[in-house]
Amino acid sequence: MAVQGASSSSLSSFTHRWKYDVFLSFRGEDTRNNFTAHLYAALVQRGINTYRDDDKLKRGEEISQALSEAIESSRISVVVLSKKYASSRWCLEELAMIIDCEKTKQQIVLPVFYNVDPTEVRHQSKSFGKAWAKLKDKIKDETKLQRWKSALTEVANLAGFTSGGRNESEFIQEVVRTVFKVVMPKSLNHISKHLVGMQSRVQYVRNKLSSVEVNDTTRILGIFGVGGVGKTTLAKEIYNSFLNQFQYSCFLADVRETSKQGKVLIRLQKTLLREILGDSSLKVQNEDEGMGLIKKMLLSKKVLLLLDDVDQLSQVEKLLGDCDWLGSGSLIIITTRNERLLTDYNVHLTYKMEELDHNEARRLFCWKAFENEEPNQGFAELTENFLGYAGGLPLALEVLGSYLYKREEIKFWEDALEKYKRIPPDNIQDKLRISYDGLEESEKSIFLDIACFFAGEREEYVTNRLNGCGFFPHTGIPILREKSLITIDKDGTINMHDLLKVMGKEIVRKESEKDPGKRTRLWFHEDVRYVLEQNKGTNKIEGIRIDLPEKKGLIHLSPGTFEKMPNLRVLVNRNALFSEPPSYFSNELRVLDFKNYHGTSLPSNFNGKKLVDLRMTKWKLKSLGNEFKNFQNLKFLILVKCDFLKRIPDMSGLPNIEELDIEGCNRLVEVDQSVGSLSKLVLLSIRYCAKLKSFPSYLNTRSLKKFFVEFCKSLVSFPEIGLEIKRLHWIQWNSTGIKELPSSIGNLTKLKILTLEDNVHLAHLPSSILQLEHLYALNLGGCTDIITYPKVSVHLTHHCRPPSNSSTFTNCFSTLQGLNLSGSTLVILPSWMDRFVQLTRLYLSDCKKLKKIEELPPNIEVVEVSGCISLESFPEVSKRFEFNTSNLSKLHSIDLHGCSKMLVNVGSHVAAILSPQEGPQYNHSCGLLFPGNKIPNWFYHCKETSNSCSSDMFIEVELLNPSVIKGILTCAVFTKTSACSTLYHEHLEFTSISITVNYDGRCLGNISRAVFLKGSDHVWLAFCELEPFTLANGSLQICFEWDSDEILVKHCGVHLVRKEEKNAKRKRDDDDEKYYSMDDNLEDGDVGD
């Protein structure tokens, strides 16, 4: 992941600067003129900066300041423990300080047991114990004695060197080799010269690692992501930043690739032992022996290990086992494309390496292509096109930028882009294909189908279609996600990086580079047209997606073309017109999604027995004939704008139907009664069928969850509800001709949402509706005479009368969560509203006669009263936002847009009110919106527009102590401009304002909202929470933008919100609280640069 050197100091940001490499601690009387002298000379000869104290101090003298500083500023302390070491209070005080530095400064301590055994030191026994006993007799300070004894015990427990009668010269060289490996570590310098976006990621991961107590456990960090996204680069940077804290370290590169060779794990085991111990003579006969040797040689040692590009769990297990035998504070870093591997190895700290954002990608690409952070003149648009193609993938950005370096011909760039859209560069393709090659065959088929046909579709949709093809998607799709080949959004959409889609399509193209008819899948419009018009189909073709660049493009279908494709299982036609309807459909078809089928019947050969999904758009079929009775595996039947279709026939022969969706069939009159009894039907939706009159009179489909009928004005009867319906939770019957609901509606005990909007003939709700105990949303907008309401969250929109009996109303709605009375004739919001203790959202927009809002429910969060032109009194606004005396502690959002008679004052504590509170996170982007023309004077950073034609404003804020900043409170004063058309209807006059916060080219947060252009100036206050990235001292850039010349942001302001402000309760103090009135004139000095 490459970057500009100036913006990322990499290792230097994290490396402690040591004055000395080694501090030598020894008993002068024992070893000064022999062993220690030889050891010191050997260390110096290897270029190791070694401190040795040669001063002979008087007995009992305290450690000097200079010696204390030498200990603290040394990277390693080598402690030579000889027989008389414990007889010196000087040596013991020195040792205690060394042990303290090991704990507090992450220094390394190497004990050298010279002619003594570690157990003698640990237990103060034998000759070493005699020296200790003599000292104890002379020292009366028990605290000091205990401190020295603890230091001896701790140093004896550390891994070190024992002479044990060995050749002294060889023994000294072993010590020197180990010290040299620590002070001259093999940092991973072969990292890209310029790094973009890396520093913040390294710091973020380091902060996460620091939350794990270093001395208590072995930390394991797993970094995963798609190939080429920068996992190895990040891992190397983290490795380098920690390197000086470890005596033992090893980087095992390309574990996956190495594992393809013979005796793979043995080779990796030997490399690990050689790199850490510096001994290449160790013999490993088999994997189990290697694992045992690693455990024996590294037992209790503090190790830094980077395993790069791991793809099999066995690779980690044969190298580290469960790694609980490593020394405390060890750090293991694993990079992989397979998130599941990290889960299986119980890695407790994982980091997904995401693609670069747009600003980072632009910097990287421009640096590679132009050796600058900006594109050359005339190349800005092409640069954006290449950025869109690369999709933030660092590998692609580097490869493409380097390829285009010093290419100054516009045509060259244009041709390169068009070529790569079809055929990616080999060095990108090869890198991305690694994950694909590791898939099983069914998983490969799923990947290719998604790449060619289904990317961007909902997971449920894709799963059902692939399941019909026999590809086991319930296991295959999770595996693709774990290997970073796909992502699944929060809304369930399957996405695939554009370069992965191109790679998948290139795999298919290479099945037959010269003849597209011999490939398994066709999607490129030129290939599709060639095969269909030239009759080049073969039995290799499994799927075709027709999506022509020209609207209603005509394909001159060659006779017999589809007969040559007997294995076709997916046929999707998005927009093509055919010169004649296909005369043949493969009986292997599972998905038939075809637009503009102009035949009056299906091909005679087609039995449809394997068909799972049938989508008919603009077909000319007059009826669903007898052939439909054979579609026994059909699950999804979608009919859109089939204008000649008059009747949905008996469907009892289709037992597996799960979704029946009919839309815009203008001549449809009847839906057969059998539809009401389809046992597996989950969704029944009929919309915009104006002539539909006959509908099942009885509904008893036990699997039904959603039931939608809309804009069917001729439909006058709602079906009776059977007892078998237990799962139905959403009914949406809008704009129909129904006059009443049946009493059997009470059978729907699981119903949560009932929408009956704009049913102008609906005159009665049965009392049984009160049995719907789980109902929380009822929409009766446009229904004029309903006065009995159940215990629900009600949605009463324009033209809906408020209830006349308030006591009955509150009794029914004790669990009300959301209330919409927009457009009603209310004059005063009644005081009994505060009885709705569960109410969180209240909507009163465009209540033109509303003058006063009294008490509000205690848990209210959002109040919207925009367009209430008569509103004069709303006491809770002042209590909450001016004086902070309100009991409504959860109220964080009020919209007073267009309430021209309202006077609003705001105190500085509003920053804490508008920022997110603990618990469930709500959308705070609305904030506070009201008529006004002035930035509050407690905003320190303000700016006034200097150009009435501009569409953005910038404020730069210096960060002096960024760690305490939680977010930013923003303020914008906006107004209509002369460009705002007076011809628009009032409710159409709206635009949007967006606010973006950037730091070092990275977006840390953004908010936006639609604003209606109603009359006078308005003020919008909103909180923008920043992403949890570690910030250094520097500048935040806050950009205010608006998307229309019909609006102008006149003033904007920024207030930094500190973390302690979050739930602060502030007293009213005239010195601290400053207020302002919306009627005040803007004074000089209130806003500025």
Looking at residue 439, which CATH number applies to its domain? 1.10.10
Task: Name the token pair of 350.
Answer: 């994982």
Q: What is the per-residue pLDDT across 486-497, written as a single tens digit (0 to 9) for each?
A: 999 888 999 999
Task: Name the token pair of 86.
Answer: 């414990």
Cα three-residue angle 155-157-160, rounded to 5 degrees? 75
User: Would residue 826 count as lying in a domain?
Assistant: no
| CB contact at 8 A, 770 and 811 | no
The residue segments making up the domain with residue 29 are: 11-183
Task: Name the token pair of 691.
Answer: 């002539």
Amino acid at 187: S
If DSSP codes are grouped into helix, strand and coil, which group holds residue 657? coil
Count: domains in the chain? 5
Instruction: Say if residue 949 is in the same domain as residue 1022.
Output: yes
Instruction: Say if residue 55 is in the same domain as residue 139.
Output: yes
| CB contact at 8 A, 232 and 286 | no
The sign one gets for the Cα dihedral 313, 316, 321, 322 is negative
Instruction: Say if residue 158 is in the same domain as residue 42.
Output: yes
DSSP strand pairing (990-999 vs 1002-1012): antiparallel
User: Would residue 765 count as lying in a domain?
Assistant: no
Closest CA to 532 of 564, 574, 502: 564
* C-alpha count within 13 angstroms, C-beta hemisphere, residue 427: 9
Closest CA to 749 of 734, 719, 769: 769
Rounded CA separation 1054/935 (Å): 10
Instruction: Say if residue 328 is in the same domain as residue 384.
Output: no
Q: What is the per-residue pLDDT across 56-78, written as a single tens digit (0 to 9) for each?
A: 443 444 567 888 889 988 989 99
Active site (catalytic) residues: 94
Domain holding 110: CATH number? Answer: 3.40.50.10140
Instruction: Say if residue 399 is in the same domain as residue 377.
Output: yes
User: Would residue 738 count as lying in a domain?
Assistant: no
In degrees and rounded to multiples of 5, residue 1053 shows phi and psi of -145, 160
pLDDT confidence of residue 1029: 58
Instruction: Say if residue 381 is in the same domain as residue 248.
Output: no
Task: Name the token pair of 471.
Answer: 């590809």
Domain end marker among 485, 509, 533? 509
Instruction: Say if residue 348 is in the same domain as residue 362.
Output: no
Task: Name the token pair of 361.
Answer: 């990608």
Instruction: Say if residue 174 is in the same domain as residue 134.
Output: yes
| CB contact at 8 A, 695 and 672 | no
Closest CA to 820 of 757, 913, 768, 746: 757
Element housing 382 (H / E): helix 380-390
User: Would residue 770 count as lying in a domain?
Assistant: no
| CB contact at 8 A, 1057 and 966 | yes
Task: Name the token pair of 46.
Answer: 């290897």
DSSP strand pairing (349-352 vs 965-976): unpaired
What residue has token string 């919209």?
A: 895
Instruction: Say if residue 941 is in the same domain as residue 1021.
Output: yes
Domain holding 1003: CATH number? Answer: 2.60.120
User: Would residue 443 count as lying in a domain?
Assistant: yes
User: Would residue 327 count as lying in a domain?
Assistant: yes
Instruction: Say if residue 209 is in the same domain as residue 139.
Output: no
Rounded CA separation 1042/1056 (Å): 22
Instruction: Say if residue 408 is in the same domain as residue 497.
Output: no
Task: Name the token pair of 1012.
Answer: 């209606």
Rounded CA separation 912/1055 (Å): 11
- Low-confidence residues in the chain, pLDDT < 50: 1-15, 56-61, 786-813, 918-925, 981-988, 1062-1089
Q: How far is CA 934 from CA 676, 937, 939, 1021, 1081, in A?
A: 61, 8, 11, 11, 8
The alpha carbon of residue 466 and the mean position of all alpha carbons in its chain are separated, in whole angstroms, by: 26
pLDDT confidence of residue 1073: 33
Instruction: Say if residue 390 is in the same domain as residue 434.
Output: no
Give the number of residues written for the chain.
1089
Rounded CA separation 738/756 (Å): 10
Rounded CA separation 354/391 (Å): 11
Domain end marker among 479, 509, 539? 509
User: Would residue 384 count as lying in a domain?
Assistant: yes
Burial 685-719 (b: 16+ CB within 10 A, else e): bbbbbeebebbbeebbbbbbebbbbbbbeebebbb
- pTM attached to this predicted model: 0.70
The DSSP symbol for 994 reads E
Cα three-residue angle 912-914-917, rounded to 5 degrees? 70
Closest CA to 204 of 909, 771, 892, 1004: 1004
Q: How far is CA 839 from CA 777, 802, 860, in A?
A: 12, 17, 6
Domain end marker among 447, 480, 509? 509
The DSSP symbol for 311 reads -
Rounded CA separation 632/609 (Å): 6
User: Would residue 399 count as lying in a domain?
Assistant: yes
